[in-house]
Chains A and B, each alone.
Chain A
Amino acid sequence: MPDRNPIDIPAAARRIDGAVHDSRRHESAHKHVSGEALYIDDIAEPAGLLHVQLGLASRAHARVLSMDLAAVRAAPGVVAVLTTVDIPGVNDIGAGQRHDEPLFATDLVQYHGHPLFAVAAETRDQARRAAQLARVEYEALPAVLDIAGARDPGTLVTPPMTLRLGDAEAALKAAPRTLSGRLTIGGQEHFYLESQIALAIPGEDEDVLVHVSTQHPSEVQHIVAHVLDIPAGAVTVEVRRMGGGFGGKETQANLFAACAALVAKKTGRAAKLRPDRDDDFRITGKRHDFEVDYQVGFDDQGRILGTDMLFAARCGFAADLSGPVTDRALFHADNCYFYGNARMASLPLKTNTVSNTAFRGFGGPQGMVAAERVVEEVAFATGQDPLDVRKLNFYGTTDRNVTPYHQTVEDNIIGPLVEELEAWSDYRTRRQAIRAFNGANPYLKKGLALTPVKFGISFTFTPYNQGGALIHIYTDGSIHLNHGGTEMGQGLNTKVAQVVADEFQVDIGRIRITATTTGKVPNTSATAASSGSDINGKAAQNAARALKARLVEFAAGHWGVDASAVAFTADGVAVGGQLVAFKDVVKAAYMGRISLSATGYYKTPKIHWDRAKGQGRPFLYYAYGAAVAEVTVDTLTGEYVVDRVDILHDCGDSLNPALDKGQVEGGFIQGMGWLTTEELWWDAQGRLRTHAPSTYKIPACGDRPRQFNVRLMRNSPNVEDTIHRSKAVGEPPLMLGIAVLHALSDAVASVADHRLCPQLDAPATPERVLMTIDRLRARAAGCEDGA
């Protein structure tokens, strides 16, 4: 199979439109801006469409004594009201098929908002009104609402994990200095702009077609099949694009798809379920909030000798993805640092709140926030700039390079990356300027921080590290591309199309990007874990290469040249001394009865993981990055602005620098939002009160850094054989936002002359910043009194 042009093929006079490594615009950009991009709610509605709404429980934990749905059934426009008894198959929509996550609660309500029934009506308004008419009698049960309350019963939703490197206990005992503390990290709502939605269209026999906004069509397919008790083959799940996912549509679409499909099969009519934004907030999982207890041993220079960390997470009422999420928190509790000796354990606690789920970073961000707190504590304890302590503890390249899960870090570039960023951002000069500013300003205080990121790429659930693609070439030379990944805005379809365009050396416009559907590429993995282009790009490349091989062999025979004299160039297919238009080669191949359709498949090499032992190589490689943030804090109100952010991020040899930069910028802002203004607030009854953008505050335009400098690392190809030596970029940049938390912490620390670690928890809302300032001032005064 020719991988590159043989020497005798002249270089093409032109470059194709949309080659790999080009900053090609998003494939749907022109449709986004004109309103022509179709989302699920925009699909032409089938005649007789029913609109479905869910009836939600109004207790956090209760037994259902009775449920009177007569008024719901009698409401105008209502066609069907469905409860557990209407489910032909299994009443479970959980990702792990643990039977711990019913579609409808039967007799036990486990969180405020737990769906009890579905109502289908002629209009959405009718369905929404009818859903409120249920009369439910409850017997209240004690509700466990947060981590503090969950520690004592200690009920876990999934088995915990422990990682051990060396002997943490001995190392902590032997360390010249130790300290310990607790860190609280809030959760995060995905706030994808397109809310969850599913449209189910019944077919003949058992068939059902489900259009659903999901990152994981294959799982939706299986869930729908289980709920309906039909074969997976009868269920087709399709998604052209999502209006954002961020992990919130990895498993959370199951509920909506299963419910719409159930209504469709029960009524024989198409059914659409689009919850109101408030319901979406209430009944879909979020990023896990954590409390982390840490103990660290270190020497007088600030070198870490051992750590012991316990990660308690609020998982909600069911497991969902809490197992792998809390695992990944541990995988990233080292971030870029060699601990020497470490013990890390997870505590996935059950609570009577919505079941938490995947969210960009998948536990990794929480692990990394904990790592950065530990390093910050050591920096304050030893009286150094946190950056110096960070650098002192970075993983080595030849030694000091074994992680707590016993993977050797083979591709470490964090040292040079941080050096470059430190110089480029003028960190040291600005550090001095900020000290001067703070000395001169009684009310406003500036803070500066540089934090690094090392993020492991691959699903830790090894079977997910596979992907498939399907390519058809039609006789007019147009190319139909399908793969198992889903488009949620990240530009996956653009990148995969670039890969295929590059293989065939045709302009990207020739490639038709199509909806992801379980009917074309089966048994797909979730588009998650940043793996989309790694897996699907390779799978599509393999499909293209299979077709190319056939075309080369055909052309060689057809035109009577050696196979090595056939090559795909931007000017056409070079066949011996002549150039043949791609479409003419294709047409000739069809006439010669050559199959013009091929599948491609890829599985990630090298990885293995033994969870029981806590050892293995869960990741093929790491993506790196670092950010410097500068903030100004109002010490009277706790309000702050982010003055400047400089980012240097590693995308390997980027498949598309413009799209990757978009991921870096957007990920950073999302991470910043998580750690600053985004606060989830439940009341004493377990009701989520921040359930819409009016009360839940993601960053707005004006919150972005006043100066925002973003660069991708140059000349940094992936050492592993990934698709065109690129690196995954979906999740890692989110954790660049940690720099803002630490810049705020630095500003807060100035009120006590940088002698005390502020221990600023997240989210650092203005309130938390002010309260931390006041606490720090009180502690500083206490220190002085005691001195």
Chain B
Amino acid sequence: MIIAPEYRRTVRFLLGDEPRELTDVDPTLTVLDWLRGTERRLGTKEGCAEGDCGACTVVVGRLADGTVRYEAINACIRFLATLDGCQLLTVEHLKRPDGTLHPVQQAMVDCHGSQCGFCTPGFVMSLYALNRAEAAPDEQRIDDALAGNLCRCTGYAPIVAAARQVRDGGRAPDHIDDVLPAVIKALTALADDKIVETGRDGRRFLAPATVDQLADLVLAHPDATIVSGATDVGLWVTKHQKVLPTIIYTGRVAELARIQDRGGALELGAGVTFTAAKVALGALHPDLDELLRRVGAEQVRNAGTIGGNIANGSPIGDTPPALIALGATLTLRRGRERRTLALQDYFLAYGRQDRRPGEFVESVTVPKPGPGDLFAAYKISKRFDQDISALCACFLVTVDGAGIVTRARLAYGGMAGTPKRADAAEAALLGRPWDAAAARDAKAALARDFAPLSDWRASAAYRLTVAGNLLLKFQAETAPDAPATRVLAQRAHGCDIARLGVAHA
């Protein structure tokens, strides 16, 4: 017997500790426009409206493991209705009730961390989120927490100094902590299994609570736009002013956010954020950790999902090359039916994926590298943090006891209309000793695999040259007594074979 799902026609969340219950919410109204336009809370700024500058950073709290997990996100590309069941904190919440500044704010004042001040509320919120998450962040962690906030005035040094002052001052409970029990209670009361439905002007927003509801909704609305982190779809709205008649939001579906260890493989639900994926995939290999660290920045990683990164079919998505190299498979679901296919086969052509009407990406299964597997992931961009790949290269090569290549999976992003393996280069490696000569031949073969484009991120010549050079680098790094090869020295690592041996523990 099928039980008709229940619908709830209000969007409910907490603004600070004040409950909000909204009806007829515009499905693509952003949190930023709501804050500034409706609430006239003006501390949160619009710098770019595309999730790249961080001036709009706010902190969203979600129930997790009996408490509230706070994460910085970009309010400019987050749809208001997706806050259902969450707590929203803005810069206005940070001052104590007596008017004194929060330690995070005071540190920014003390260290001269603001000049023009326009980016400052965003930095303050990123610092606040960092302070909530970690009592003693190291230097790298501070940089990562601030990578999604651009400042054009200070050059960042005084802001980092403020972060250190906050850290060194220790984490004392503040007025926001004081009401945490009440917030947990309120958020718990907001959680339900109903489908949230709202909308305006004939446009609909649907947010199922279970994966079965999601499957039914997608089947019923095959033309709907499926939204998870909205780190891409948000821009369709803010930049292209696209009208989206129906949105199905996946963020309330707990099953989709699951990560399961299947022994030889990890299964990641499509709704696993980059932040969560970094922990799971990062444990498989340090390069995966580093690659995930360089997906967008903190605010984007907290919102964007693995499933979204795959499903939208971008030729420059950061995770598909790595997942293809590792031999990942995709589980697609349509109603109650599921099918699996190799991830590399999902990408048919530029802008075209093997996803049928009514179908959605449910999970991705990532085999763990085994002993004898050599792996590396490289992202090449103009800037290390918060940038889009000019190209991305991820390599998995299996070498037998005699040092012969028995398997080669060389996957690239940014080199073609889809993330794609380099067949000719792989063929050049197979059956060869894993040495510099083999890498050089594979590099030469790449010209048969790819004819990349020239654009603002890189010229075709650069893409092709570096795509080949990365094979040389990979070989050099996996040779005994490898020299230093990476400029991000703190993350440099030569031979990873030993670490890979324990990866499936």
Contacts and interface: CB of A to CB of B under 8 A. Distances in A.
A244 B487 contact: no
Given A662-B158, A701-B156, A632 B109 contact: no
A138 interface: no
Interface stretch (B91-99, B366-374, B400-408): B91-99
A33 B45 CA distance: 12
B497 interface: no
B171 interface: no
A665 B158 contact: yes
Interface stretch (B79-87, B355-363, B458-466): B458-466
A448 interface: no
A22 interface: no
Contact of A243 (B113, B116, B457, B483): B116
Nearest to B139: A706
B137 to A, nearest CB: 13
Contacts of A23: 112
A510 interface: no
Contact of B101 (A34, A638, A641, A690): A34
Interface string B448-479: 00000001111101100110011011001000
B455 A689 contact: yes
A29 B484 contact: no
Nearest to B296: A694
Interface hub of A35, A641, A681 (most chain B Cβ within 10 A): A35
Contact of B52 (A636, A681, A692, A699): A692
A774 interface: yes
Interface string A626-646: 000000111011111100000
Nearest to B118: A243
B112 A634 contact: no
A734 to B, nearest CB: 11
Interface in B84-142: 90-92, 94-95, 101, 105-106, 108-110, 112-121, 124
Contacts, number: 262
Contacts of B473: 443, 636-637
A38 interface: yes
B330 interface: no
A668 B117 contact: no
A665 B154 CA distance: 6
Contact of A241 (B116, B378, B387, B459): B116
A772 to B, nearest CB: 12
B487 A633 contact: yes
Contacts of A665: 154-155, 157-158
B49 A276 contact: yes
Q: How large is the interface on B (under 10, 10 to 19, 20 to 34, 35 or more residues)?
A: 35 or more
Given A32-B120, A665-B155, A39 B45 contact: yes
B286 to A, nearest CB: 17
A43 to B, nearest CB: 9
A637 B153 CA distance: 30
A708 interface: yes
B45 A194 contact: yes
Contacts of B24: none
B483 A701 contact: no
B485 A193 contact: no
B154 A666 contact: yes
B152 A767 contact: no
A514 to B, nearest CB: 17
Contact of A634 (B53, B153, B239, B486): B486
A701 B385 contact: yes
Given A193-B47, A666-B115, A34 B152 contact: no
Nearest to B469: A636
27 contacts: A29-B109, A33-B113, A33-B120, A34-B92, A34-B94, A35-B42, A41-B36, A41-B46, A42-B42, A193-B152, A195-B47, A243-B116, A277-B48, A444-B483, A489-B118, A636-B470, A665-B157, A667-B155, A692-B239, A695-B388, A701-B147, A701-B151, A704-B155, A704-B160, A765-B382, A766-B380, A771-B461
Given A710-B157, A766-B382, 8 more contacts: A25-B109, A33-B108, A41-B46, A277-B47, A633-B487, A692-B239, A701-B385, A765-B382
Interface of B: 36, 41-50, 52-53, 55, 90-92, 94-95, 101, 105-106, 108-110, 112-121, 124, 143-144, 146-147, 149-160, 238-239, 241, 297, 378, 380, 382-388, 390, 455-459, 461-462, 465-466, 469-470, 472-473, 476, 483-489
